[in-house]
């Protein structure tokens, strides 16, 4: 009865039409108990103890009212100092509820109805939805599967039109684990020069790299809006600390206005504890996490090759490999069969058609769990 009523009454506003929970969520909701989770997009390592202790301390000892909408000044200073090449002022940083809010606010702040936004294919599905929410038009540039999802400047260039308002880069990438090289970013900057197009640079995985430390697009292109946070680098997904940072003060100001009405401010307790996110202890925790994920990635790729005869892309950062199952059939069907055998993976199609025939496999698991997961995969795929 209630469901029927809802259907009859709400005609979704245009900005929400076609915006749906992601395929990833829909798969997770149907997972069987005791599944091995290769679908996870968040660290399984614990949040460092000193951060948890600080949160407990401020909860008990301090009054935690609202902070400024833009976040604690001390925290904004630390974030600004993370990008020394930009010499950011406090009004060029806004602390948000995870980088997800920064991303949504960035699009709502700059995109008008009908504006085109270039998004990588494959990419984290929130991007397509954020563009739709802001009534923009998602335009995809391919990261070719046959080149291991590496960036291709000619493809990027070919998608720019007079209607292009913004472009997105995610480095290291979800879902591919690839990093945009310095050369890629320089080429993008060259192409965008004097166009007025904004570049949204998703750097949420920037501390999780296994080769060279990734560059920020903001080093090369002035109109860059950085979207980042502590979720992945310090295993703090549930703490909801992210930020938007840019020399484009008017964009930060517009996003801040939205942020004030959407959330008022990020949790004060989380913000205070996050002040320790730039200490030597935090840097050690980040380095340790990098080492752990690097080893796990190598372990998993070897295992997938040896046990299943399948190739996974070499991760350069984040904690994902794209497993090539094109020879076996449809990725959605394979993911479904694996799900029934208590293994969660994400079909490539969830991230765009360029990743069709691949599964995104994450290594946020112990070696023991991963070995059990691959054993279960073998039962299905043999």
Shortest reach from residue 23's CB to ligand PLP, in Å: 14
Size of the site for ligand PLP (CB under 6 A): 13
Shortest reach from residue 41's CB to ligand PLP, in Å: 4
* Residue 150-179 contact track with ligand PLP, rule CB under 6 A, x = bound: --------------------x---x-----
Please report whether residue 120 would count as binding ligand PLP according to CB under 6 A.
Answer: no
Q: Which of 171, 175, 161 is nearest to 23 (CA)?
A: 175
d(CA 276, CA 282): 7
> Which of 48, 98, 136, 348 touches ligand PLP (CB under 6 A)?
98
Q: Which of 274, 260, 296 is nearest to 374 (CA)?
A: 296
Q: Which of 191, 122, 147 is nearest to 350 (CA)?
A: 122
Q: Which stretch binds ligand PLP (CB under 6 A): 23-31, 83-91, 94-102, 324-332?
A: 94-102
Shortest reach from residue 61's CB to ligand PLP, in Å: 27
> Which of 124, 141, 351, 358 touches ligand PLP (CB under 6 A)?
124
Please report whether residue 134 would count as binding ligand PLP according to CB under 6 A.
Answer: no
Please report whether residue 242 would count as binding ligand PLP according to CB under 6 A.
Answer: yes
CB atoms within 10 A of CB 191: 16
> In whole angstroms, what separates CA 371 from the centre of its chain?
26
Shortest reach from residue 178's CB to ligand PLP, in Å: 12
* Burial class of 150 by CB neighbour count within 10 A (0 to 12, 13 to 18, 19+): middle
First to last CA, the chain: 46
* Burial class of 135 by CB neighbour count within 10 A (0 to 12, 13 to 18, 19+): middle
Residues 354-373 that bind ligand PLP (CB under 6 A): none
Q: Which of 298, 288, 338 is nearest to 319 (CA)?
A: 298
**368: CB partners within 8 A, 6+ apart:** none
Please report whether residue 267 would count as binding ligand PLP according to CB under 6 A.
Answer: no
List, as one string, the DSSP characters of 115-169.
-EEEEEES--THHHHHHHHTT-EEEEEE--GGGTT---HHHHHHT--TTEEEEEE
Residue with tokens 């950085």: 226
Q: Which stretch binds ligand PLP (CB under 6 A): 96-104, 214-222, 319-327, 354-362?
A: 96-104
* Cβ-contact 217, 201 below 8 angstroms: yes
> Which of 35, 67, 82, 99 touches ligand PLP (CB under 6 A)?
99
Measured from the CB atom, the residue of 43 and 381 that comes closer to ligand PLP is 43
Residues 283-322 that bind ligand PLP (CB under 6 A): none
d(CA 242, CA 107): 16
Measured from the CB atom, the residue of 237 and 337 that comes closer to ligand PLP is 237
* Angle between the N-to-C axes of helices 331-340 and 367-381, in degrees from 0 to 180, rounded to the nearest 10: 110
Please report whether residue 100 would count as binding ligand PLP according to CB under 6 A.
Answer: yes
Shortest reach from residue 70's CB to ligand PLP, in Å: 17
Residues 182-241 that bind ligand PLP (CB under 6 A): 202, 204, 229, 231, 237
Measured from the CB atom, the residue of 201 and 381 that comes closer to ligand PLP is 201
* Residue 36-55 contact track with ligand PLP, rule CB under 6 A, x = bound: -----x--------------
**Which residues lie near ligand PLP (CB under 6 A)?**
41, 98-100, 124, 170, 174, 202, 204, 229, 231, 237, 242
């Amino acid at each position: 009865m209630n469901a029927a009523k809802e259907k009859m009454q709400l005609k979704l506003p245009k900005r929400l039409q076609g915006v749906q929970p992601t395929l990833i969520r829909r798969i997770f909701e149907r997972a069987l108990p005791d599944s091995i989770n290769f679908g996870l997009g968040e660290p399984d390592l614990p949040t460092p103890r000193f951060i948890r202790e600080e949160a407990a301390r401020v909860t008990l000892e301090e009054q935690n009212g609202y902070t400024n909408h833009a976040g604690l000044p001390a925290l904004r200073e630390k974030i600004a100092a993370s990008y020394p090449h930009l010499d950011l002022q406090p009004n060029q940083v806004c602390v948000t509820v995870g980088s997800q809010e920064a991303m949504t606010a960035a699009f709502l702040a700059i995109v008008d109805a009908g504006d085109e936004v270039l998004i990588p294919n494959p990419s984290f599905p929130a991007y397509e939805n954020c563009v739709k929410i802001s009534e923009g038009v998602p335009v995809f540039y391919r990261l070719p599967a046959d080149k291991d999802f590496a960036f291709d400047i000619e493809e990027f260039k070919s998608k720019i039109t007079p209607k292009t308002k913004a472009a997105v880069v995610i480095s290291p990438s979800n879902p591919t684990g690839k990093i945009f090289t310095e050369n890629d970013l320089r080429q993008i900057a060259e192409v965008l020069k004097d166009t007025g197009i904004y570049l949204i640079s998703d750097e949420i995985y920037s501390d999780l790299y296994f080769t060279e430390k990734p560059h920020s697009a903001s080093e090369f292109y002035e109109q860059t809006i950085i979207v980042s946070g502590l979720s992945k680098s310090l295993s703090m997904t549930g703490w909801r600390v992210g930020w938007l940072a840019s020399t484009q003060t008017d964009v930060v100001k517009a996003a801040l206005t939205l942020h004030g009405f959407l959330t008022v401010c990020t949790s004060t307790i989380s913000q205070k504890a996050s002040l320790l996110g730039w200490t030597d202890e935090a840097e050690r925790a980040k380095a340790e996490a990098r080492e752990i994920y690097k080893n796990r990635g190598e372990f998993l790729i070897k295992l997938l090759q040896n046990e299943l005869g399948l190739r996974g892309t070499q991760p350069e950062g984040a904690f994902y490999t794209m497993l090539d199952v094109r020879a076996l059939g449809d990725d959605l069907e394979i993911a479904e069969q694996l799900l029934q055998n208590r293994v969660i993976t994400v079909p490539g199609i969830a991230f765009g058609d360029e990743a069709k025939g691949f599964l995104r496999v994450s290594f946020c698991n112990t070696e023991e769990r991963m070995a059990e997961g691959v054993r279960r995969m073998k039962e299905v795929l043999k």
